Amino acid sequence: MATLIKNGTLITASETFKADILVEGEQISLIGQDLHHPNVEVIDATGLYVLPGGVDPHVHLDLPMFNTISSDDHYTGGKAAAFGGTTTVIDFVPQDEGTLAENIARWRAKADPKASVDYSFHMNITRFDQAVAKEIFSLPDLGITSLKVFTAYNNRLRLSDGEIFRVMRVAHAAGILTLVHAENGDIIDILVDEALAAGNTDPFFHAKTRPAWGTVEAALRAAALAAQAGDAPLYLVHMNTAGEVDQLEYAQAHGLNMMGETCPQYLFFTEDDLRREDGAKWICSPPMRKAADNVRLWEGVEKASIQVMATDHCPFFYDGTTPIMYEGQPVAIPGKELGIGDFTKIPNGLPGLGDRMPILWTEGVGTGRITPNQFVAMHCTNPARIFGLYPKKGALVPGADADIALWDPNKAVTYGVNLAHHRTDYNLYEGWQLKGFPVMVFLRGQKIVDGESWYGKPGSGRYVHRQEGEILR
Ligand code: DUC
Ligand code: ZN
Ligand code: ZN
């Protein structure tokens, strides 16, 4: 049956207007005034905002790390995403043994039966030779139009500068966007060895051994490599320092095709959170910085030199020895307790996928820092455009997938682990007072969230083949 969403206020990346939306099958078929249809379920959206479903282009689901695994898989992570208004996620395929195609097939075999919202992949390139160079050209045939390289994690994930330069040239020629994780791997290794030798094992030393300057110089290095690689398009993931915003704006002012994302945790928290008794909850890489970094990142968000709000969602239990109840079953997955007494053994990552839109609505739109249209641009439309999903995703237009979030601007909640739906035992925003919250969410025309009711299931999400993305500056 068709669905008619009546009397809502549509918010797109550029406009706000009252209209009805007719959904037939999996797509939006019509947007207009006073629409009628003989055989429809009518949803009265009076007093609600109607947003495109969110697109989170940076998540790590079911990711093995430090003798455990990130605690959300493609089912539980998708469910949390949906409750927070997000209907498409992009995960990363590690380059383990074998060809890129074999790795992608392995990751798809894990995700396909479980996915509860739509998803796609970026490819990590952490080994590079002629065979890999050749294979990068076939990634678009598999629907993958972005890859990630690392300037940190020596002897594991890091490529040399020369290799990154080569990857960028090949990616550019193949119509693929290069994503860079910018930190200085050499300095990190030295500082970690020194910290452990001195007995500095607390979570705070996670931040102290991964300094902001290493991130700043690696961001400029990535920009310079991309410029020399024929102005290859470049996207800086998880921006966390003031200096990175400076480098991004410097590159943009010089006409480079450079874009960036930040994540909510880098706007709201600092390294001081790592000093708390439960500081391990805030351990992720790159780490939390200082209040001045929060301020400068907000500035980049407000003036849109930073184009995207992502999450780097990679949750672990705080206490993986104590089960939580998840869908009526006790679940415990080893987590942050693995690093008690040694910060280098704490699994790196945080929950955030479901938090992203509700938190940024209250703290961004509610405070007047960004407009509702900027909110939609950063959370829905820009990631869809940059990653080749637009206008199928991230848009309210006829022909787009009917991925829709109905948003109640007056709904007030005390947020935290119980509302967030991540499969973990904590939430960074515990007790925050939020105003404005998604109340109903559709994935390709199917209602998957209605208040606190969940109608999604494993396999209700689908792999999305991406096209070459756009460069937004
Ligand atoms: N950083 C994290 O904190 N976790 C997963 C991967 C990453 O880059
Ligand atoms: Zn990263
Ligand atoms: Zn990441």
195 token code pair: 């910290």
CA of 397 to the centre of ligand 2 (A): 33
pLDDT at 407: 98
Question: Which of 122, 118, 141, 121 lies closest to 401 in space, CA to CA?
Answer: 118
**Which atom of ligand 1 is closest in space to residue 65's alpha carbon?**
5
287 lines ligand 1 (CB under 6 A): no
pLDDT at 81: 99
347 lines ligand 1 (CB under 6 A): no
Residue ranges of domains in the chain, CATH in brackets: 2-52+393-454 (2.30.40.10), 62-383 (3.20.20.140)
Strand partners, 427: none
Question: Which of 109, 105, 79, 108 lies closest to 91 in space, CA to CA?
Answer: 108
222 lines ligand 1 (CB under 6 A): no
Weakly modelled stretches of the chain, pLDDT under 50: none
Write the CA distances from 241 to 298, 354, 382, 447, 463, integer angstroms: 11, 24, 21, 39, 33
For residues 377 and 393, give the distance between their C-alpha atoms in angstroms, rounded to a whole number: 12
In this structure, which ligand is nearest to the CA of 64?
A: 1
285 lines ligand 1 (CB under 6 A): yes
Give the position of tokens 């994780």: 181
pLDDT at 147: 99
Question: Which of 244, 108, 257, 110 lies closest to 176 in space, CA to CA?
Answer: 257
CA of 194 to the centre of ligand 1 (A): 22
CA of 181 to the centre of ligand 2 (A): 5
Contact 232, 168 (CB under 8 A): yes
For residues 356 and 378, give the distance between their C-alpha atoms in angstroms, rounded to a whole number: 11
CB count, 10 Å around CB of 472? 16
Contact 60, 91 (CB under 8 A): yes
Question: Which of 372, 398, 364 lies closest to 32 in space, CA to CA?
Answer: 398
Burial class (CB in 10 A: 0-12, 13-18, 19+), 435: middle
pLDDT at 1: 81
Mutation pick for ligand 1 pocket among 314, 343, 346 (CB with most ligand atoms within 8 Å): 314
284 lines ligand 1 (CB under 6 A): yes
Mutation pick for ligand 1 pocket among 59, 262, 348, 424 (CB with most ligand atoms within 8 Å): 348
372 lines ligand 1 (CB under 6 A): no
265 lines ligand 1 (CB under 6 A): no
422 lines ligand 1 (CB under 6 A): no
pLDDT at 253: 98
pLDDT at 451: 98
For residues 180 and 305, give the distance between their C-alpha atoms in angstroms, rounded to a whole number: 17
Residue with CA closest to ligand 1 atom 8:
285
251 lines ligand 1 (CB under 6 A): no
Write the CA distances from 319 to 6, 315, 417, 424, integer angstroms: 45, 12, 14, 9
CA of 183 to the centre of ligand 2 (A): 9
Contact 456, 79 (CB under 8 A): yes
pLDDT at 473: 80
**Which atom of ligand 1 is closest in space to residue 283's alpha carbon?**
3
Mutation pick for ligand 1 pocket among 312, 343, 350 (CB with most ligand atoms within 8 Å): 312
CA of 59 to the centre of ligand 3 (A): 6
314 lines ligand 1 (CB under 6 A): yes
**Which atom of ligand 1 is closest in space to residue 349's alpha carbon?**
3
Question: Which of 431, 437, 435, 436 lies closest to 415 in space, CA to CA?
Answer: 431
61 lines ligand 1 (CB under 6 A): no
pLDDT at 363: 98
Backbone angles phi, psi at 252, to 5 degrees: -65, -40
pLDDT at 97: 96
Contact 85, 403 (CB under 8 A): no
Spell out a b/e string for 441-453, using b for 16 or more CB atoms within 10 Å of the CB, else e: bbbbbbbbbeeee
60 lines ligand 1 (CB under 6 A): yes
